C-alpha cells in the first residue's frame, strides 16, 4: 500500500488528485478490489484481514483529505492573484449628479422674482372647473377652452391646464389681502405632444394686485422686460404684441428676438426673427368680480419653463427633457 500513499502525495493539482481518488477509492478501485479478496480469506483470518484493511483505508482517507484542502487553498490563492482587483488603484469614475435643466431654469426664475419681492404660492394639480376656467372668465362652452383641451377626471375636475387658477385661489384666500405680489411655479397638463409640447410641463404664473388701483401696464412692461433681459441677456430685443386671453384685458404676448439667429430669421423662429415666450395682460374686471375684489387694479403673466430651458440651452426637441437620456442630462453637470 506504500505506492497508494505515493499516488496521493504526488498529486500536484486538484485534477490529478481526483484521478488518484477514483483509482484508490472508486467502486472499481484498488481498495474495492482488496475488500473483494475477503471472500477467499480463511474464516479465522477474516477479522484480522478486515481490520488491517480498514486501518489502511482510514490512513489513506486522512491523507487524501489533507492533500485536498492543501490543493484547494493553493488554487484559491492562485485565482485571487489572477482575478484580483487592486482597490488601492486610482479610480477616475467619479460621477456626481446635476440639476435637471428644467429645475435649474425654474430656480433661476424664482431667484429673480424673489429678489423683486414676489411671494411664492403653490396649489393643487387637480382643479375644479370654477378655478381652472369659470372664474378666469372662461364660461362653459366658451370656444377659448378648446385652446387648452385637457385631461378630465370627470365632468367637474381636470388636471389644471395652466397655473392661472392659482391667481383665483390666492385672491380668494381669506388670509391674503391686496396688495398682492406673487408667482406660482408648478406643473400643468395639456393634450399636446410634438417637438415643442409635452402633455405635462411647467409654468410660472405671476400676479400683482394693487389696492389703490395704481398698478398699470407700464409696471407690467417694466418687470417683464427686466426679467427677460435677466434670463436671456441684455442683447435681446423684446416686443409686446396685442393678443387675447379671457382673463386679461388688454392682453399682450411677449416675444424676444430669436436667440438662434439673432433676429435674422431661421427655421426655429419660422423666419420671423421672433420667439413667443410669454402671455400677459391687465387682470380682466370679470376676474376681480368673480373673486369679489373692488377698486383694485392688477396685472398677470404666465409662461412655460421648458420653453425657457430649451431656448437658453438650445435644446431642439422639448420632449427630450423628459426622456431621462443620460446623453442629454450629462451635459448639464
Ligand atoms: N394662462 C395662460 C396660458 O397658459 C398664460 C397667461 C397667464 C396669460 C396670465 C396671461 C396672463 O397660456
Domain boundaries, the chain: 2-85, 101-332
Atom of ligand 1 nearest to the CA of 163: 1
Query: What's the gap between Cα 219 and its chain centre?
Result: 38
From the CA of 168, how far away is ligand 1's center (Å)? 13
The 10s digit of each residue's pLDDT in 181-195 is 999 999 999 988 888
Q: Residue 148's pLDDT band (boundaries 50, 70, 90)?
A: low
Helix or strand (DSSP H, E) at 226 = helix 217-232
Atom of ligand 1 nearest to the CA of 161: 4
Atom of ligand 1 nearest to the CA of 188: 4
- Give the global pTM: 0.72
Q: Residue 82's pLDDT band (boundaries 50, 70, 90)?
A: confident
CATH of domain 101-332: 3.30.930.10
Q: Residue 96's pLDDT band (boundaries 50, 70, 90)?
A: confident
The answer for residues whose C-beta is within 8 angstroms of residue 265's C-beta and 6 or more apart is: 258, 271, 272, 273
C-alpha 283/C-alpha 161 separation (Å) is: 18
Atom of ligand 1 nearest to the CA of 162: 4
Nearest CA to ligand 1 atom 10: 280
From the CA of 175, how far away is ligand 1's center (Å)? 25
From the CA of 263, how far away is ligand 1's center (Å)? 25
C-alpha 184/C-alpha 176 separation (Å) is: 15
Q: Give the pLDDT confidence score for residue 147 in this predicted structure.
A: 61
From the CA of 247, how far away is ligand 1's center (Å)? 8
Amino acid at each position: 500500500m506504500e505506492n497508494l500513499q505515493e499516488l496521493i502525495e504526488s498529486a500536484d493539482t486538484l485534477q490529478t488528485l481526483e484521478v488518484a481518488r477514483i483509482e484508490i477509492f472508486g467502486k472499481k478501485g484498488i481498495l474495492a478490489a482488496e475488500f473483494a479478496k475477503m471472500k477467499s480469506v480463511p474464516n479465522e483470518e477474516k477479522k484480522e484481514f478486515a481490520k488491517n484493511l480498514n486501518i489502511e483505508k482510514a490512513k489513506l482517507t486522512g491523507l487524501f483529505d489533507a492533500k485536498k484542502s492543501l490543493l484547494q487553498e493553493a488554487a484559491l490563492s492562485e485565482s485571487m492573484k489572477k482575478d484580483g482587483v487592486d482597490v488601492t488603484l486610482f479610480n477616475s469614475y467619479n460621477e456626481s449628479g446635476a440639476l435637471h435643466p428644467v429645475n435649474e431654469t425654474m430656480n433661476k426664475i424664482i431667484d429673480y422674482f424673489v429678489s423683486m419681492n414676489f411671494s411664492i404660492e403653490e396649489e393643487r394639480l387637480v382643479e375644479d372647473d370654477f378655478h381652472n376656467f369659470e372664474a378666469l372668465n372662461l364660461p362653459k362652452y366658451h370656444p377659448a377652452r378648446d385652446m387648452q383641451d385637457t385631461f378630465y377626471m370627470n365632468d367637474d375636475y381636470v388636471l389644471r391646464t395652466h397655473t392661472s387658477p392659482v391667481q383665483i385661489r390666492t385672491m380668494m384666500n381669506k388670509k391674503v389681502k391686496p396688495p398682492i405680489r406673487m408667482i406660482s411655479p408648478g406643473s400643468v397638463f395639456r393634450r399636446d405632444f410634438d417637438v415643442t409640447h409635452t402633455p405635462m410641463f411647467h409654468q410660472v404664473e405671476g400676479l400683482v394686485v394693487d389696492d389703490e388701483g395704481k398698478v398699470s401696464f407700464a409696471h407690467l412692461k417694466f418687470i417683464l422686460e427686466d426679467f427677460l433681459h435677466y434670463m436671456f441677456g441684455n442683447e435681446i430685443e423684446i416686443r409686446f404684441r396685442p393678443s387675447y386671453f379671457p382673463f386679461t384685458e388688454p392682453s399682450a404676448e411677449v416675444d424676444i428676438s430669436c436667440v438662434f439667429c439673432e433676429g435674422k430669421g431661421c427655421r426655429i423662429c419660422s423666419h420671423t426673427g421672433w420667439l413667443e415666450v410669454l402671455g400677459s395682460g391687465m387682470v380682466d374686471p370679470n376676474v376681480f368680480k368673480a373673486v369679489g375684489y373692488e377698486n383694485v387694479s392688477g396685472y398677470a403673466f404666465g409662461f412655460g419653463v421648458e420653453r425657457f430651458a430649451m431656448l437658453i440651452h438650445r435644446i431642439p426637441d422639448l420632449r427630450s427633457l423628459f426622456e431621462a437620456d443620460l446623453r442629454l442630462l450629462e451635459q448639464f453637470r
